[in-house]
Amino acid sequence: MTDRELIDRFVGGDQSAFTQLMQNHEDRVFGLCLRMLRDRTKALDATQETFLTLYRKADKYHGKSAFSTWLYRVAVNTCYDQLRKEKRKRADALPAHLDPIDPHVTDEMRAVELRPDIESALATLQPEFRSAVILVDMEGHSLETAAEMLAVPIGTVKSRVFRGRRILASSLGNLSNPSTPPRDDRG
């Protein structure tokens, strides 16, 4: 069953459809929240709040974008709200055993080596840059989809990704060509 069909069934009163939607998306929503908030407990809270929002506002989804895009926008906004409420203190990197596996790295040992450095570098980014970099570079979304999720123009996402990559490259010590603009990976 598609997400749209599940939403329609849930709005029509089928509670099992909500359970299925949650099962289909909870891992990715949690991964996004964990990368945004860098704290497992806060990420779990944000994930729960995201799905509570979905439960309360499912009827607001009108299918203008993919359901996952709408849900990610809710998750990102939930993380932003949490960051604003706490006025975010800098946290230490997560212990390696709590980090989600990076699906883009084929060598697991190399992935484990890189995680603490990348997590620390991500922590130096302002939330707007961090969310754009996470959605485009870590989650693999197109610039256009990230713009929908963040509810900003595509040019803003391009700028945030470019600036975020520059800061990350500088933090990680591999700033080889800082003037290369972000690729346009719409699609």
pTM, whole model, 2 decimals?
Answer: 0.62
Is the Cβ–Cβ distance between 128 and 84 less than 8 Å? no
The number of distinct structural domains making up the chain is 1
pLDDT tens per residue across span 167-178: 888 887 765 544
Q: What is the average pLDDT value for the chain, to the nearest integer?
A: 81
In a 13 Å sphere around the CA of 146, the CA atoms on its Cβ side amount to 28
Highest mean pLDDT among 11-15, 134-138, 164-168: 11-15
Query: What does residue 102 show for φ and ψ, rounded to 5 degrees?
Result: -80, 115
Residue 18: its pLDDT value, please? Answer: 95
| Predicted confidence (pLDDT) per residue in 103-137, tens digit | 545 554 444 455 667 777 888 888 889 889 899 98
Report pLDDT for 111: 46
Is residue 31 assigned to a domain?
yes
Domain containing 35: what range? 1-91
How high is the pLDDT of residue 16? Answer: 95
The pLDDT, as a whole number, for residue 187 is 46
Residue 165, in any domain of the structure: no
Whether 137 maps to a domain, the answer reads no
Following DSSP, what letter does each residue of 93-104 receive, concatenated? Answer: PPPGGGSPP-TT
31-62 pLDDT, tens digit each: 999 999 989 999 999 999 999 999 999 999 98
pLDDT at site 41: 94
Residue 110 in any domain: the answer is no
Q: The domain that contains 86 carries what CATH number? A: 1.10.1740.10
Residue 92 pLDDT level (bands cut at 50, 70, 90): low
For residue 62, tell me if it sits in a domain: yes
* Residue 145 lies inside a defined structural domain of this protein: no
Residue 51 in any domain: the answer is: yes
R_g of the chain, CA atoms, integer Å: 17
Classify residue 156 as exposed, middle or buried by CB count within 10 Å of its CB (0-12, 13-18, 19+): middle
pLDDT at 64: 86
For residue 69, being part of any structural domain is answered with yes
Alpha helices in the chain (DSSP H): 3-11, 15-37, 40-57, 67-86, 108-123, 127-133, 143-150, 154-172
